[in-house]
Amino acid sequence: MQKWFMHVDMDGFYASIEQRDHPELRGKPLIVGGKGPRGVVSAASYEIRPFGVHSAMPIAQAVQLCPHAIIVPVRMARYVEVSHVIMDILRGYSPRVEQASVDEAYLDATGLERLFGPIETMARRIKKDILDVTGGLTCSIGLAPVKFLAKIASDLHKPDGLSILYPETVESFLHTLPVEKIPGVGKTMLAALRTLGVEKAGEVRRYPRGFWERRFGKAGIALFERAQGIDRREVEPFTPPKSESAETTFDEDTRDTAFLKNWLFRHADRVGRSLRHQKLQGRVITLKIKYADFRIITRRITLAAPTCATQTIYETACSLLDHTPLEGKVRLIGVGVSGFDNHPHQLQLPLTATASEKDKRRATLDRVLDELEGKFGRDAVIRGRLFQGAAKTSKPS
């Protein structure tokens, strides 16, 4: 049976959602991202891309390229909400769906022709279902016999594209494929390849497998195999998360401990909510600090028991900060939780008999706030500490 991998990639996801939710933004050059001198473009609408604006670009540079750009803040909770809807659609077609990010996923489409007809028909049905259920959002789909080629194919005819690499066309496609399109080929490897006169994937075959292994190790073996269309990876329906984190880059560097702790609480709240939604608890709390000179330090502690409680995460992060003498002004601060149990599990109340009364109260409060948020939205109830707005603007990431 012919193997088929499908890669579904939403088109300008963040910007498209903003334009759908706010019709006055449709057709306008739109940037989704943090404002201020250190803000970064998280997403750019297709209307602004001809100006040279793209994601990960500093906002200041983007505004120079397109002075009439409209900038709106990131609404991650909204994008995740729409993402859940899209992933549910995909799981209605295949039991093997691997979510790669909030706006892309792989499907194992092998054998599904028996249910949905030719793979071309199935892909078009998925595109229509996503368009209809999301109220107008488009996606681009790539189909190929191996995983990495499906991802490359999905990017060939964006937006609203459909590209299929049939087995008999793979070799000719690779012959002219720029080598930097192969996953794993970064700037350093690309520079080395160019010194060897290797510009296209097909040119990798000039040298044997052993040459590439000696030159780049395991990465060289992967390069050699993928240049021949070999990719042994399968679709993995669930990959347990290794950590959950949130961080903020400030518009102005600071040593104000109260200000830093205010942001630690915001991050603890965001991380805690995400962990509870995923039914995860972690034992390791990590504090991340980036100084004005871009030096990064991390401090971590392992708790006696796993937690997903906002207040516990916050207090632990504050304790780490208190025991970390600041060596200069801080540019970024972040909080992470890791050391999860092996599998997600159902969180139950009351907690175990060994838990303190304080922990029980915290868990009850978190549960009530999460339920209110689920019913009435994020702004229905806001923790009192979050009303203490930061005195300086900043860019959460």
Q: Give domain limits for the chain.
A: 13-76, 170-226, 243-396
Common-topology check for domains 13-76 and 243-396 = no
Structure tokens, 329: 């002004």
Pick the more confident residue, 345 or 148.
148
- The CATH label, of 3.40.50.300, 3.30.1180.20, 3.40.50.720, 3.30.1490.100, for the domain at 243-396 is 3.30.1490.100
Residue type at 391 in one-letter notation: A
Confidence at residue 119, expressed as pLDDT on a 0 to 100 scale: 93
- Beta pairing, strands 243-254 & 162-164: unpaired
Catalytic residue among 98, 104, 225, 244: 104
| d(C-alpha 1, C-alpha 148), whole Å | 19
DSSP letters, 313-373, are HHHHHHHHHHTS---S-EEEEEEEEEEE-SS-----SS--TTS-HHHHHHHHHHHHHHHHH
Concerning whether 104 is annotated as a catalytic residue, the answer is: yes
> What are the pLDDT digits (tens) for 89-107?
999 999 999 999 999 999 9
> What are the pLDDT digits (tens) for 350-381?
344 344 566 667 777 777 667 666 655 555 55
Report the side by side order of strands in the sheet with 30-33.
41-44, 30-33, 70-72
Percent of the chain, pLDDT > 70? 87
Query: Is the per-residue pLDDT at 382 higher than 80?
Result: no
Confidence at residue 26, expressed as pLDDT on a 0 to 100 scale: 95
Structure tokens, 224: 């050699």
269-286 burial code (b ≥16 CB/10 A, e <16) = bbbbbbbbeeebbbbbbb
- In sequence order, which residues have a C-beta less than 8 Å from that of residue 44 and are 6 or more positions away? 12, 15, 30, 31, 32, 53, 54, 55, 57, 62
Query: Is the per-residue pLDDT at 73 higher than 90?
Result: yes
Confidence at residue 394, expressed as pLDDT on a 0 to 100 scale: 46
Is residue 243 a contact partner of residue 336, using CB atoms and an 8 Å limit?
Answer: yes
pTM score, two decimals? 0.73
Q: 170-226: which CATH topology?
A: DNA polymerase; domain 1 (1.10.150)
Mean pLDDT of the chain: 88
Confidence at residue 366, expressed as pLDDT on a 0 to 100 scale: 73
| C-beta neighbour count of 80 within 10 angstroms | 12
CATH of domain 13-76: 3.40.1170.60
> What are the pLDDT digits (tens) for 278-306?
888 899 999 999 999 989 999 999 998 88
> What are the pLDDT digits (tens) for 157-174?
999 999 999 999 999 999
Is residue 266 a contact partner of residue 386, using CB atoms and an 8 Å limit?
Answer: yes
Least confident span in 169-178, 249-258, 321-330, 369-378: 369-378
